[in-house]
Amino acid sequence: MNKYNASWAALFLLMAGLPVQATESTELTFLNWTDYMDPEILTEFEQRTGITVKQTYFESDAARDELLVETEGRGFDVALIDGTSIRILAKRGWLEPLDEAAIPNLKHIDPRWRTIHEEAEVYSVPYFWGTLGIAYRQDLVPFTVSSWMDLLQPTEALHGRVSMNSDTRDLIGAALKALGYSLNSTDSQELKQAEALLQAQAPAVKTYKYISLNENSALVNGQVAMSMMYNGDAMMVQEHHDEIAFVLPKEGGNIWVDYLSILSASTEKAAAKQFIDFLNEPEIAARLAEYVYYATPDRAAEELLPAEFKSDPVIYPSEEALEKSETYHRLPARTQKNRAAIFSRIVY
């Protein structure tokens, strides 16, 4: 088929209301967490548009940022960005401002999640939101876990069977919440107390690396009995063992929001916008929420979700629980330096 016939064919498809396949193969590179995308949805996107999506994975927000620094933000089209990093990455010139006209499904997004972090509304589209808490094996922990202190001051029987996150904010934030302080504290004495609590816990910690979510997970095989974990991840690993439970500690925790951003160096910006818009089609967003076990910011998608999904307190915590929890805020440079030093003295 020559290019003129191809153009007429495309016009016919548009008039018939059918999706137009890309005339040349287009590939998007998506920088993402592992297990954070339904592969069937990617297949459907490719079938509908002719655009393939290749995923590159990172193990922590810090690792993602290091990768972007190494590449100067190049080599990726769409990236999964945590809310607190958006302003920083945008300031470097690595994030493309949103073209709202090209992403009409933005109309479904709850404004609360678009504006909860600095610059998020300008550069990003909310993907999912959730909480950070404790996952544990009910058959291996001889009590009901309810507090961060259960994790940070584990009984002797649990020594060597505790897992923590290798994220500065998560690690120090949990200790601050356990002590009754804000996870955004800038007070040097409060941070010193948090460090002492984490140092005392360190001999009991098996790993500071985020555990896997598959059937070989340390939480499934029992090598780990209690772990700091994101709520949806706990439900995902629960598929492999019925005794795994999740609790948002009584002191509260972190309310996080993940965002999709287009990299300014991308050469496939039109396809990237198409991809983000596709993910926010209500039916697609609802399917994806059920796959990852996280709360969707897409209000139209929520209406399509089963009642038991929306009523699950692990996925949608009570307002009381959320009131005790916090989002991360931008901290002064001196506090960031202090926290980095604390982290390096614990995780080495």
Asked if pLDDT for residue 230 goes beyond 50, the answer is yes
Contact 227, 154 (CB under 8 A): no
Judge contact between 246 and 137, C-beta under 8 A. Answer: no
Q: Is the pLDDT of residue 107 over 80?
A: yes
Non-local (6+) Cβ contacts of 163 within 8 A are 205, 206, 207, 208, 209, 210, 211, 218, 219, 224, 226, 227, 228, 229
pTM: 0.87
User: What interhelical angle do 188-201 and 168-178 show, nearest 10?
Assistant: 100
- pLDDT, one tens digit per residue, over 159-179 is 999 999 989 999 999 999 999
pLDDT single digits (tens) 169-215 = 999 999 999 999 999 999 999 999 999 999 999 999 999 999 999 99
CA dihedral 237, 67, 342, 250 (to 10 degrees): -30
Which is it for the CA torsion 6, 271, 24, 34, positive or negative? negative
The rounded distance, in Å, linking the Cα atoms of 46 and 26 is 10
- Express each pLDDT in 319-341 by its tens digit: 988 999 999 998 999 999 999 99
What is the radius of gyration, based on Cα positions, of the chain?
Answer: 21
In the prediction, which pLDDT does 199 show? 97
Q: What is d(CA 203, CA 297) in angstroms, rounded to the nearest whole number?
A: 39
* Model pLDDT for residues 125-144, shown as the tens digit of each residue: 999 999 999 999 999 999 99
Intervals of CATH 3.40.190.10 along the chain: 3-129+256-310, 130-255+317-346
CATH class of the domain defined by 3-129+256-310: alpha beta
Using alpha carbons only, give the angle 219, 221, 226 rounded to the nearest 5 degrees: 25
Helices 39-49 and 269-279, axial angle in degrees (round to 10): 120
State the architecture of 130-255+317-346 in CATH terms: 3-Layer(aba) Sandwich (3.40)
Backbone angles phi, psi at 256, to 5 degrees: -110, 155
* Separation of alpha carbons 336 and 272, rounded Å: 33
Q: Taking every pair of C-alpha atoms in the chain, what is the biggest distance, in angstroms?
A: 75
Give the relative orientation of helices 39-49 and 282-292 as an angle to the nearest 10 degrees: 160
* CA nearest to 26, candidates 261, 267, 236: 267
Q: Would you state the pLDDT for residue 223?
A: 96
pLDDT confidence band for 120 (50 / 70 / 90): very high
